[in-house]
Structure 1
Amino acid sequence: MAAAAVALLGISLVGCSASEDSASGAESATCPGGKIRFGILPYEDPEALGPAYKVLGDALSKKLDCPVEMIITEDYAAEVLAMENDSLEIAQFGPLGFVFANERAGAVPMVSFGDAKGQPTTYTAGIWVPKDSKIKTIEDLPGKTLALGSPGSTSGDALPMSALTKAGIADKVTADYAGGHPEALLMLVNGTVDAAQINSQTLETATKEGSFDQSNFRQIWKSEEIPNDPVTVRKNLPQDFQDAVKEALLGLEATDVEQVSAFLGVDPAGPLIPVTVDTYQPLFDLAKTMGLTEKDV
């Protein structure tokens, strides 16, 4: 009990439950403890994420006839710890965060976000500089400041740092962790750093919002394609529950997930699609190559 309480200290709740009318809350095979707790990493502004995930949670609640409590955690570490301590039944992780959630907390991937044709979707990490900057490639970054998202982020930390390491300049660049993808972008826009990581998801959101004008900046590095976030279920839950949740998620309409999909750079959105551990093998390989552990997440 003590460990579970510690895990919950790192979680902020969005509302009380995703649906109070569609389910009675009575405990059943598909409603352990009378509700389902669904964790989300704050990869964008939590105030913006909350309403989008409430739509998804409401739809899932109706499918399972069980209240779904959508929980935005403080960071990767809090989310993994919460699942490890049985404080989350379902959780969406970033691709790299999933690697350690799988190894440490038994997170089993069920679904990810598909496009309108039902195909898997991806995104990319990137490093951007002002248009008039003398920095032309990452090899020009030594002695410069680089805004990163948050420690352990796939596109906001691991992949950019991997690129700098491969270039032999990781220890010559001043990395400034901004606390999130939007915050890193803002540091570049405000001119407080020489360069910043901006992934394709944040780029699309900021461009649509008008907070980032691409014509004023240049991308000097771009990663290979990264599979989009998996939604996972805790491995130690009954198989009947795991199967029911996966079936319910795959049965959601595109309109149920389109607001969340938009944050992940998927537009137009399609329904959720099945994924497996193999989908994320490149991230397991990255963690091994970089010598990353859960302490880096």
Structure 2
Amino acid sequence: MRARPFLAAAALAPALLLLAGCGGDAGTSGASAATCPGGRIRFGVEPYEDPAKLKPAYETLAAALQRKLDCPVELKIVDDYSAEVLAMRNGQLELAEFGPLGYVFASRLAGAQAVASFADAKGALTSYTAGIWVPTGSPITSVKDLAGRSLALSSAGSASGDALPRYALKTQGVAESSVKIDYAGGHPEALLALVNGKVDAAEINSQQLATARAAGTFDPAKYRQIWKSEPVPNDPITVSGRLDPAFREAVAKALVELEPADVAKVGAFLDVDPPGPLVRVTEQTYKPLFDLATTLGLTEKDV
């Protein structure tokens, strides 16, 4: 079955990068300003793609934010959704980008407040879709045919890689117990499980599909999509609710004032092409994900 234990805060991976220089040291006036609580800003990102690939993309975004706020930004690539939520709850992160479903629980458990997300060149908030794919020659033609078959999902707590495919099973009357669900460990791993013939079907969201096609690791002509979700708003960047509202507003303002080039590398992983600036979002933007969690009866133990 699916639920993995809710991880301890110690599961946080070590910081991969410390961006220093623009904000000065902790003894400067910037360190005591509303834009630099404690002399640094710790920014968490869950590794929805290979961390080695994510690091330079988020380095660019974090460096730009550092310049805007005149405060060192410490980038932390965490182990998974659970570790990220707990890190913010335990005061170890000031900022964090969550997947949409991870944000639902981060808001409940850690007071995470969504402030910005990714827009297209016209300034419209972008979205993505979850999908279930099979080989072209597979006898599986619908979600109902997954009974008795194996299905690779990315990881517990992912909206497109866990909750939405499971919601598809529920709405199509397919008992989860009748499907051999394999949590592959991430979106790239779920795709590879299908490509390598280890499962009958796999979740592949539109973001991972675009990345894999660009890298030449997935040929859509050899596979067929049997299910596609409604659009999901892209990942929110959040601020810890325990911090001064003045800091939250300063971060939100700085994020939406970043140049498209500052966020383009991250946007490429989120299928934002061509990229625009970040745009403001609120909890209401992600209401469909709150509703989904309620419908499936999800708790923090499912993340």
Instruction: Give TM-score scaled by structure 2 length.
Output: 0.94
CA deviation map 1:133-190 (0-9, x unaligned): 1111111111110000001110000000111112221221100000000000000000
Residue 201 in structure 1 maps to residue 203 in structure 2: no
The whole-number CA distance in structure 1 between the counterparts of 2:108 and 2:156 is: 18
> Could you say which residue in structure 1 is the equivalent of 2:294?
288
> Could you say which residue in structure 2 is the equivalent of 1:147?
152
The whole-number CA distance in structure 1 between the counterparts of 2:9 and 2:93 is: 10
CA contact (8 A) 2:147 2:178 kept: yes
The whole-number CA distance in structure 2 between the counterparts of 1:186 and 1:142 is: 21
For 2:23, the aligned partner's letter is A
RMSD: 0.9
Unaligned regions of 5+ residues in structure 2, if any?
1-7
Select 1:71's aligned residue among 52, 61, 76: 76
> Could you say which residue in structure 1 is the equivalent of 2:3?
none
TM-superposed deviation, 1:21: 2.1
CA contact (8 A) 1:40 1:71 kept: yes
Moved >3 Å (runs of 4+): none
For 2:289, the aligned partner's letter is L
The whole-number CA distance in structure 2 between the counterparts of 1:212 and 1:256 is: 28
Residue 177 in structure 1 maps to residue 179 in structure 2: no
CA contact (8 A) 2:11 2:79 kept: no
> Could you say which residue in structure 2 is the equivalent of 1:13?
15
CA contact (8 A) 2:131 2:225 kept: yes
The whole-number CA distance in structure 2 between the counterparts of 1:285 and 1:9 is: 29
The alignment partner of 1:44 has SS state of: coil
The alignment partner of 2:141 has SS state of: coil
> How many corresponding residue pairs?
290
> Could you say which residue in structure 2 is the equivalent of 1:228?
234
CA contact (8 A) 1:8 1:87 kept: no
The alignment partner of 1:127 has SS state of: strand
The whole-number CA distance in structure 1 between the counterparts of 2:162 and 2:38 is: 37
CA deviation map 1:32-67 (0-9, x unaligned): 111100000110111100000000000000001111
Mark the CA change 1:8 to 1:30 in structure 2 (over 3 Å): closer, same or farther: farther
Instruction: Give TM-score scaled by structure 1 length.
Output: 0.96
The alignment partner of 1:13 has SS state of: coil
Unaligned regions of 5+ residues in structure 1, if any?
1-5
Residue 137 in structure 1 maps to residue 142 in structure 2: yes
Aligned residues with identical type, % of pairs: 59
Q: Any residues of structure 2 matched to 1:50-199 within 5 Å, and which?
A: 50-169=55-174, 170-199=176-205
The whole-number CA distance in structure 2 between the counterparts of 1:260 and 1:110 is: 17
The whole-number CA distance in structure 2 between the counterparts of 1:25 and 1:226 is: 40
For 1:24, the aligned partner's letter is G
